[in-house]
A and B are shown apart, each in its own frame.
Chain A
Amino acid sequence: MTDDGSPAGGAPRRRPLATGEKSTIVYGILGVLLVLLVAQLWLLTATTNAWLGGDDSVVLPAAVASLACLGLNVGLLLYLFRLE
């Protein structure tokens, strides 16, 4: 056995994160989530404005971008679940 408790020659065992460390990670994830949310809100208002004015050309790219933001958000949430 090594000092960190892992078997000799094996990969070092990961120390479980303390609540304070997890809170820091959650803070970081929350920051990114909020930035993505603001970007999505802006996209939705700008697209609605263009669509009401009869401009359909931006609707598809905006929908793709919004779905990409949602994908990132879901990915961050899944990472958060893995921290448990």
Chain B
Amino acid sequence: MTERDSRTPDGRPPAEQPRWRRDFPIDVAEDAYVARRDFAKFSVLVSAAFATGQIWLLLRSIFRRRAPGAPPARVASVTDVPVGAAIAFRYPTERDPCLLVRRGKDEFVAYGSECTHLMCAVLPEVEKGRLRCPCHMGFFDLATGRPIAGPPRRRLPVVTLEVRDGGIWATGVKLESEQ
């Protein structure tokens, strides 16, 4: 039994190879070794990218902790929002859409209106006591902002409210771990 030649793809010696392969001889084993070594190099590059992502999260976390709290902002007058109705507003910045819902005569709740799944705008369904994300049918409890059905796993950011002098004021935003 003849020994298999690792330099050629079919294991036959180079002299028995077709003419075109003899004209362009490639050491198959060496070629595979180089390809795997290059793949290892690329894997380390991807690993460095993942570690960079973690460092970026760490820096964002430090800056978030040091950032001052949002100043109170007037959202609406109490008379502007009938019982069972909702109005949209932005807080603490223009890039943060929120939703104020009047659940009862003296009961107001407000949440960030971006779904925690893929940031679609949630819609209030006050009579059913929930907020609905129409993109992937995610549902949140209107009383707490917790996800109750569908793909979302995190609750909506809660906007803390204060009612004074006939107006409704947003006084801060609480994320899940702060509640």
- Which residues of A pack against B, CB within 8 Å? 19-20, 22-23, 26-27, 29-30, 33-34, 36-37, 40-41, 43-44, 47-49, 51-57, 59-60, 62-63, 66-67, 69-70, 73-74, 76-77, 80
Contact = CB atoms under 8 A, between A and B. Distances in A.
Interface SS of B by simple majority: helix
A24 B48 CA distance: 25
A67 B51 contact: yes
A23 B7 CA distance: 13
Interface residues of B, number: 37
Interface of B: 6, 27, 29-30, 32-33, 36-37, 39-41, 43-44, 46-48, 50-51, 53-55, 57-58, 60-61, 64-65, 116, 153-155, 157, 174-178
A29 B39 CA distance: 11
Contacts of A20: 6, 29
Given A54-B178, A56-B65, A73 B43 contact: yes
Contact of B40 (A63, A66, A76): A76
A20 B99 CA distance: 65
A33 B65 contact: no
B177 A54 contact: yes
Contacts of A51: 57, 60-61
A63 B58 CA distance: 7
Given A54-B175, A56-B61, 19 more contacts: A20-B6, A20-B29, A22-B33, A26-B40, A29-B40, A30-B40, A33-B43, A33-B44, A33-B47, A40-B47, A48-B53, A48-B57, A51-B57, A52-B154, A53-B177, A59-B61, A63-B54, A74-B44, A77-B44
13 contacts: A23-B36, A26-B33, A26-B37, A27-B36, A33-B44, A44-B53, A55-B176, A59-B57, A60-B58, A69-B47, A70-B50, A73-B43, A76-B44
Identify whether the interface residues of A are mostly helix, strand, loop, or mixed: helix
A71 to B, nearest CB: 9
